[in-house]
Amino acid sequence: MLPDQVLSQLKAIVGPQHVLLESEDLQRFGVDRTTLWQANPCAVVLPSAVTMVQKIIRLANDCNLAVVPSGGRTGLSGGAVASDGELIIALDRINTVIDFNAIDRAVTVGAGMITADLQAFAAKHDLLYPVDFAAAGSSQIGGNIATNAGGINVIRYGMTRDWVIGLKVVTGAGDILDLNQGLLKNNTGYDFRHLFIGSEGTLGLICEATLQLTRPQADTTVMVLGIETFAAIVEVLEVFKTKIELTAFEFFSQAALDKVIKRQGHSAPFATQAPFYALIEFETRTQVTSVALALFEQCAAQGWVLDGVVSQSLAQTRALWRLREDISETLWHWQPYKNDISVRVSKMSDFLAEVDQLVAARYPDFEIVWYGHIGDGNLHLNILKPEDLPQTEFFERCGIVSLEIGELLARYGGSISAEHGVGLLKKSLLPYSRSPVEIALMRSIKKTFDPKSILNPGKVFDALV
């Protein structure tokens, strides 16, 4: 419960109608896409200006009130969960285009702008914001930056980090920082911008962002190949990567495809069934398409590829993409335990063999669904909850196996979170990817920007040991 005096100060800052206290709002704003934690914030505030955010943070410091920053809440690691009486600051109303410069190909937007709206704005100006993923229709730019979102085009365009050229943030101490001002070259000491990217709301609130746009992509062609084994997927990736500039190389298993077809009503790419499928995308050019077809023949001759299809129209390209893009949404039906792991692409083959063996041995009674951005070395290993098993028990059992996956990843120099972030879900696994010295340094950095530890406490790591 918020003390009356704090409540009236919040109302004075943002306007009474922008302080939400109804249970329905608290439930809606208090969770992300994870289903493990219950929402229990004390209130939600919706500021419309950076100065309002600053006032709220100063007030929170004065009364030791924990704050959870909130974007589109499409996160998969509990980073935006408010389950312990925190105040939620939602950036929804700071959502407009603030500046656009065609010469710089740069746009400054409010952090609450929906990703798809930014993509549409760029397209209207014959430009491209290339970071894309299934949740683009509801995720917000600020949240994408706070989690350094990846997605389906990383092999070609990189992660969110690669497109952020300026940030306006309010730190946990209540200072407004205007970082990097959209500059391409700026060697003036520590680049704080990069500390805030991927910090999951633990250092400050991202309020505005300046993003680099690029020239639009040509139309693309998609090829879906049915593949015999994990090892063969990596062989096919290597063959295609050496000859073609790919815009995506994704994969999914037959189990993933079956579920998407059944629940979304999509059609199978071809009649042959295969243990795995690779979705390969490249810019449409006659020459490139004939090289791709030759590579397909080569892979089939090796026995790696069982069947395949090449899109012949934009509609078919889109339909093939749905088979991959709709997996995540489809799987929510089974309350999956989500692993989001990565290793260097060159180590993928050996790692896949080991992780496949481990998972088969440790989850004999659970259904496993594989998919992910294999071209980036990123696997989404989803374990589906059996209907009759309580969720907490299921997550406990998965958590134990995750420690073994963590050990394996540490041996391979891999990451326990490739793109979903650490949040609450992966906190206990952090030591498998980051050394004790690194985690201690993270704690010191947090103390510098958020001395009273009011921002997203308990996310990524625990502030005090």
Q: Contact residues for ligand MLT (CB under 6 A)?
A: 76, 133-134, 327-328, 338, 380
Q: How far is the CB of 124 from ligand MLT (least distance, A)?
A: 27
What single string gives the DSSP state of each residue in 391-446? HHHHHHHHHHHHHHHHHHHHHHT-BSBSSS--TTTTGGGGGGTS-HHHHHHHHHHH
CB of 429 to ligand MLT, least distance (A): 16
Minimum CB separation of residue 445 from ligand MLT in Å reads 27
CB neighbours (10 Å) of residue 110? 24
Q: Nearest Cα to 351, choosing from 394, 383, 381?
A: 381
Interatomic CA distance for residues 433 and 417, integer angstroms: 9
Q: Which lies closer to ligand MLT via its Cβ, residue 59 or residue 134?
A: 134
Q: Which is nearer to ligand MLT, 14 or 134 (CB)?
A: 134
Nearer to ligand MLT, 304 or 366 (CB): 366
The least CB distance from residue 372 to ligand MLT, in Å, is: 6
Distance between CA atoms of residues 130 and 145, nearest Å: 14
| Residue 367 CB burial class (10 angstroms; 0-12, 13-18, ≥19) | middle
Is the Cβ of residue 30 or residue 336 nearer to ligand MLT in the bound state? 336
Strands (E) located in 213-275: 220-227, 246-253
If the CB atoms of residues 161 and 443 are measured against ligand MLT, the closer one turns out to be: 161
Q: Considering beta carbons, is residue 134 or 244 the nearer one to ligand MLT?
A: 134
Asked if residues 294 and 388 have their Cβ atoms less than 8 Å apart, the reply is no
Residue 327 C-beta: closest distance to ligand MLT, Å? 6
Q: At 130, which amino acid appears? A: P
State in angstroms the smallest separation of the CB of 134 from ligand MLT: 5
Q: Find, among 395, 392, 387, the residue nearest to 338 by Cα.
A: 395
Q: How far apart are CA 420 and CA 79, in angstroms?
A: 9
Residue 174 CB, nearest approach to ligand MLT (Å)? 34
**Residue 48 or 378 with smaller CB distance to ligand MLT:** 378
- 3-class DSSP state of 76: coil
Least separation, in Å, of the C-beta of 76 and ligand MLT? 6
Q: Which is nearer to ligand MLT, 227 or 374 (CB)?
A: 374
By beta-carbon proximity to ligand MLT, the closer residue of 169 and 425 is 425
Neighbours of 189 (CB within 10 A): 6
Which among 275, 272, 282 is positioned nearest to 251, based on CA atoms?
275
Asked whether 194 and 441 are in contact (CB, 8 A), the reply is: no
Distance CA 365, CA 351 (A): 23
> Rounded to 5 degrees, what angle do the CA atoms 417, 420, 425 make?
75
The distance of closest approach from Cβ of residue 410 to ligand MLT in the complex, given in angstroms and rounded to an integer, is 22
Smallest distance, ligand MLT to C-beta of residue 380, A = 4
Residue nearest to ligand MLT as judged by C-beta position: 328
For residues 73 and 446, which CB has a smaller minimum distance to ligand MLT in the complex?
Answer: 73
Which strand (E) or helix (H) includes residue 291? Answer: helix 286-301
Q: Is 213 helix (H, G, I), strand (E, B) or coil?
A: coil
- Min dist CB 119 to ligand MLT, Å, is 17
- Pairing type for strands 87-90 and 67-70 reads parallel
* Of 87 and 155, CB closest to ligand MLT: 155
